[in-house]
Amino acid sequence: MIAIIDYDAGNIKSVEKAMQLLGQEVTITRDRETIMNADKVILPGVGAFGDAMGKLRQYGLDEVIRDVTAKGTSFLGICLGLQLLFERSDETPGVEGLGILKGEILRIPDQEGLKIPHMGWNSLKFQNNGRLFKDIPEDSYVYFVHSYYLKAEDEGIVTATTEYSTHIHASVEQGNVFACQFHPEKSSDIGIQILKNFVEL
C-alpha cells in the first residue's frame, strides 16, 4: 500500500489518480500508524513553504515523516514536497524545514524575458544514475510549476537538473528518500514511467 500524506495541500488527488493508473492501492492519510506501515510514502504539495510546515507540525506529521524515512521506507517528495525535505526556504525566512536532506530553497532570480513562476515543460539533464530515471532518455520534458528552487548542499544526491534563469536541482535521491521539483503526475508518459520506477524500487 502507498500512503499519500494529507496535510491539506493541493494536488493530492492527481497523485492518487496517477498511482491508481499504475494499479496501486493508495491511501490518503495523516494517520501515523498507516504511514509507518505503508510500503511506500509520498509527500505531494503545492503552496507556500511556511504554511505547509505549519500544517505538518499541527498534525504531528513532521515527526512521522522523520520516523518513516529513518525506518528505510521508500519516500517520494513532489514539488513543495521536495522543498519541505530541506532545511530552509527564501519563501518563509525563519521557518525551519524538515531538514532530512541538506540544502536550501532559493527564489528563482529575475531574468528579462522569463516569467516567474517557472511554469510549463522543461527538459532534464541526468547525473549520478538516479533510480527514478531508469529507462528514461536524457532531455526528456517534464512539467514544472514553482517560483523557488533547490540548491542541494551535496551535488552527490542530485539526480536531475534543469535550467531556468539559473541552474536548478530538479531531482534528488539519498538512500530511500527521493524527490522531484517537477510534477511527475502531470508529466504525461515520462512522468508515469518515473512513478512506475518509484513503485518498483
How many whole angstroms separate alpha carbon 92 and alpha carbon 105?
Answer: 10
Tell me which residue of 36, 32, 38 sits closest to 56, measured CA to CA: 32
Q: Tell me whether residue 79 is one of the annotated catalytic residues.
A: yes
Q: Tell me whether residue 180 is one of the annotated catalytic residues.
A: no
CA Rg value for the chain: 15
Q: How far is CA 129 from the centre of its chain?
A: 18
3-state DSSP call for residue 139? coil
Q: How many residues does the chain have?
A: 201
Cell 512522468: give the residue: 191
Residue type present at position 58: Q
Q: Tell me whether residue 118 is one of the annotated catalytic residues.
A: no
Catalytic-role residue among 16, 91, 173, 185? 185
Catalytic-role residue among 79, 118, 169, 180? 79
Catalytic-role residue among 138, 163, 183, 200? 183
Residues taking part in catalysis = 79, 183, 185
